Amino acid sequence: MRKKTQLIHGGITGDEKTGAVSVPIYQVSTYAQDGVGQHRGYEYSRTGNPTRFALEELIKELEGGHAGFAFGSGMAAITAVLMTFNQGDHVVFTDDVYGGTYRLVSNVINRFGLEASFVDTSDVENIKAAITDRTKAIYVETPTNPLLKITDLKKVSELSKENDLTFIVDNTFSTPYWQNPIDFGADIVLHSATKYLGGHSDVVAGLVVVNSQKLAEDVHFVLNSSGGILGPQDSWLLMRGIKTLGVRMEEIEDNTRQFIEFLQGLPEVTNIYYPGLEDHKGYDVHSQQARGSGGMISFDVGSGEKADRVLKNTRFFTLAESLGAVESLISVPAKMTHASIPAERRGELGITDGLVRVSIGLEDIEDLKEDFLQALRK
Ligand SMILES: Cc1ncc(COP(=O)(O)O)c(C=O)c1O
C-alpha cells in the first residue's frame, strides 16, 4: 500500500458490525467480563480502548513498526519513553531538541537519576564522544527547531547497534508521510501529534511507535502504570486529521518552496534555513532519508525590531508557538521558544534576534507573500 492509500485504509477502518466507514468513538471506561478474568480484549480504558487502538494500529503501520501507543500529549509520550530507563542510565540527546524535551530531561526526569548529555548530533563523532559505559540510548530530532539541522539516521543507528543502545527519533517535523526512521534502524519513533498529524490546531496528542515486542511491553507497561493516555474523542479526531496528511503535506511543501523563492528575492532576508535547499548543510543526508522537507522555514530579517514589526503586522501568519497546522504560524525563537537560552549561547547557535520561524499552512501562497511583504515594509 502506498502512503496516501495507507493514510485512508491503514490500521482498523470503520466498524464491521454496522458498516460505518468511520471508527466509532468508544466513550467508555470499563468493559463487562464474561467471567472472572474472561474479557473480550478490553478490561479498562487506561489499559486499552478500541478507538485508541485503531489509532495506535494506524500509526504503527504508517511508521512501519511493531506496535503503536497514543498519549495525551507529545510530552506525555516522551515522558513515558524516558520512564522505561533506570536510575543511573545515561542518554545522549540532540542539543537543540524541542525546549519542552530539554526542560523535562534537565528539570524533571533528572530528579529520578536519568543522566543526559546534549550534543550536536548532526556530527556522529560528537555522539561517539559522549557515549559512556552507562549510556543506554541516543535520542535525536531531525530536522531540528529552529535551524532545521539534520542528523544521519543510518549512521546513528549503526552506532547505536554497535553499542547496544536504543535509538529514539522524534519525527514530529517530518511526519511518517515524509520520513520513516525505523526504515533506517531506529528503535522508537515518537511524535507530537498536536502538529502535522492532527493538523488543524484542535487536538493535543502524542504517539509512540516501537520496533520490537520487548519495547512494546516496556512502553505499554509505563503507559498503563502512569496513565497518560489519549481519550477516545481525541483519538478519533487524530485519525480524521491523519486521513488528509498526504494532501496537506504535499500542498504545504509546494507552498513552502514558493515562499522560499519569494524570500530569496527580498534584500532584507538572509540565512534561509530549509533542509530542501541545496545549500543547506544537511541537504544530502536529508535527501537520502526523507521524501520531502515539510513546511518549517527559519530566516533572518536583520534585527529584533524588524522581526517584531513583521509579527505585529501580518494578517495571515498567526503569532503562535505551535506548528504544522492548516493556518500559517509565525514566531521569533529568540523571544519565544528559545528565550530561556542565554543570549550569548543563542548567538553561537545562530538563533539571532532577527531570526523568524514560519510554519507554512494551506492559504493561497499569493496571499501569504503579499501579507508578509506588507508586514516587512510597513
Ligand atoms: C519536536 C517536538 N517534539 C515534542 C513536542 C511536544 O509536544 P506536545 O506539545 O504535543 O506535548 C513539540 C511541541 O512543540 C515539538 O515541537
pLDDT at position 339? 79
Residue with CA nearest ligand 1 atom 16: 98
pLDDT at 373 over 80: yes
Q: For residue range 211-227, list pLDDT tens digits in order.
A: 999 999 999 999 999 99
pLDDT at 342 over 80: no
46 part of the active site? yes
| DSSP reduced 3-state for 190 | strand
DSSP annotation string for 312-335: HH-SSSEE-S--SSSS-EEE-TTT
d(CA 156, CA 134): 18
pLDDT at 279 over 90: yes
Alpha helices for the chain (secondary structure H):
3-9, 50-63, 74-82, 99-103, 124-130, 153-162, 175-178, 213-226, 232-243, 245-264, 283-289, 304-313, 343-349, 365-377
d(CA 137, CA 166): 4
What is the band of 338 on the pLDDT scale with cuts at 50, 70, 90? Answer: confident
98 part of the active site? yes
Global model pTM greater than 0.75: yes
Q: For residue range 60-102, list pLDDT tens digits in order.
A: 999 999 999 999 999 999 999 999 999 999 999 999 888 899 9
pLDDT at position 183? 98
141 lines ligand 1 (CB under 6 A): yes
Q: What angle do CA 259, 262, 267 make, to 5 degrees?
A: 135
95 part of the active site? no
Nearby residues of 79 by Cβ (< 8 Å), 6 or more positions away:
104, 108, 109, 226, 228
Residue with CA nearest ligand 1 atom 13: 192
Cβ proximity of 229 and 44 under 8 Å: no
Q: If you measure from the C-alpha of residue 193 to the centroid of ligand 1, how many angstroms do you get, rounded to a whole number? A: 8
Q: If you measure from the C-alpha of residue 236 to the centroid of ligand 1, how many angstroms do you get, rounded to a whole number? A: 20
302 lines ligand 1 (CB under 6 A): no
73 lines ligand 1 (CB under 6 A): yes
Q: Which atom of ligand 1 is closest in space to residue 172's alpha carbon?
A: 1
Q: Indicate the average pLDDT of the chain.
A: 96
What is the band of 203 on the pLDDT scale with cuts at 50, 70, 90? Answer: very high
Q: Which residue out of 147, 190, 194 has the highest number of ligand 1 atoms within 8 Å of its CB and is therefore the one to mutate?
A: 194
